[in-house]
Amino acid sequence: MKLLWLQSGGCGGCTLSWLGYEQGPLFEVLGEEGVELLWHPSVSAAGLDAAVELLESCASGREPVDILCVEGAALRGPYIDGVGSGGFHRFGGGAPMLDWILRIAVRARHVVAVGSCAAFGGVVAAGVNPTDAAGLQHDGEIGGGVLGPYFRDATGLPVINVTGCPPHPGWIVETLALLARGRLLADDLDEFGRPRFFADHLVHHGCPRNEYYEFKAGAQKPGDQGCLMENLGCKGTQAHADCNLRLWNGEGSCLRGGFPCIRCTEPDFEEPGHPFNMTPKVAGIPIGLPADMPKAWFVALAALSKSATPPRVKENATADRLLRAPSVKRGKK
């Protein structure tokens, strides 16, 4: 499987995450899975002229492309006579990156959007969006993007969205390996085109603060050990990803580092309408409730949980270290 990687509007963080893959030397692992890298702007030795020649060969069909990976949002502006020229991002000062994406995508066997910017527009499309940035097949939650809602690759798949800001390197590598083995089918993608092997989980799953969540013992300030949902903006119960099951660098996650989940695998995460570290509430009830829990149930369970909170959990929740350990109970003989 020949892989071509293009970088459009973005920060390059998805590439940095990918290069940090820890389950073996990255390109050896890809080679063992049958993936050959044609070109990547950060790791390939080919200069500009050779890269342009390769892209033209790919766009014309002379060089087969099995997997086109696009990192970063596609920039559609400025508009000329009502048509997006893509002129805000010209590859090497020549043709717009938008043109390369459109020409190569229709010939590639599979198209993969790497990161939430390529999938949904992400941070690049935030605010007034002067460059008219969009994802490959979505503009936020709305289907469309630069390839349109009905785009399908040669095997019938939509754009495969490996979301995240950035995505976990394992998500990228496993997606490429599944494609190389012909084992990523339409049923293996969720409604936003995300591979379900990571998107069928919630960041909440495996969170080390789950005991505090169960008793609704919330942290009050950064550094506290309690649940970050009630006061400090955590959206782990709404974010589709396995971040706390498949740890980063073998041991970390945002929540393990003391930071609330900002839901970066979801469309429009970049504009929540409030500071990332604040939980908006109505009548004392958080607006952002767990993804599949009715509001009335949450209110009832929260009231019951708080009334049953052990003193140990309550004290530890607002401290920066364990103040009280769980009691030791001996089994009956």
pLDDT digits 0-9 by tens, 208-257:
999 999 999 999 999 999 999 999 999 999 999 999 999 998 899 999 99
Domain end call among 150, 172, 199: 199
Categorise residue 58: left if φ over 0, alpha if ψ from -120 to 50, beta otherwise. Answer: alpha
Structural domain including 274 reads 201-320
pLDDT in tens, 124-140: 999 999 999 999 999 99
Cβ distance 282 to 274 under 8 Å?
Answer: no
Q: Do 4 and 38 contact (CB within 8 A), yes or no?
A: yes
DSSP annotation of 124 reads: G
**186 plus 40 within the same structural domain:** yes
Verify that 194 and 276 share a domain, yes or no.
Answer: no
**What is the rounded distance in angstroms from the CA atom of residue 87 to the CA atom of residue 93?**
10
pLDDT digits (tens, 9 = 90+) for 27-40: 999 999 999 999 99
User: Quick check: 139 and 161 in contact, CB under 8 A?
Assistant: no
Token pair, residue 36, equals 């050959």
| pLDDT, greater one: 286 or 30 | 30
Residue 325 domain flag: no
Question: Coil, strand or helix: which one is 274?
Answer: coil
**Domain boundary residue, one of 174, 199, 224:** 199
Number of independent structural domains in the chain: 2
Q: Which residues contact 140 (CB under 8 A, 6 or more apart)?
A: 120, 121, 125, 267, 268
Would 332 be classed as within a structural domain? no
Residues 6, 81 within the same domain = yes
Look up the CATH number of the domain holding residue 38. Answer: 3.40.50.700
Q: Looking at residues 112-128, what average pLDDT do you find? A: 97
- At 333, the pLDDT band (50, 70, 90 cuts) reads low
Indicate whether 287 pLDDT > 90.
Answer: no
* E-only strand ranges, the chain: 2-7, 36-39, 67-71, 74-75, 79-80, 83-84, 110-114, 133-134, 138-139, 142-143, 160-162, 281-282, 285-286
Say whether both 211 and 188 belong to one domain: no
Q: What is the model's pLDDT at position 250? A: 87
| The pLDDT of residue 47 is above 70 | yes
Measuring CA to CA, which residue among 135, 63, 140 is closest to residue 103?
A: 63
Same domain, 62 and 131: yes
Of 151, 170, 199, the one marking the end of a domain is 199
Mean pLDDT over 37-50 rounds to 95
Residue 284 banded pLDDT, cuts 50, 70, 90: confident
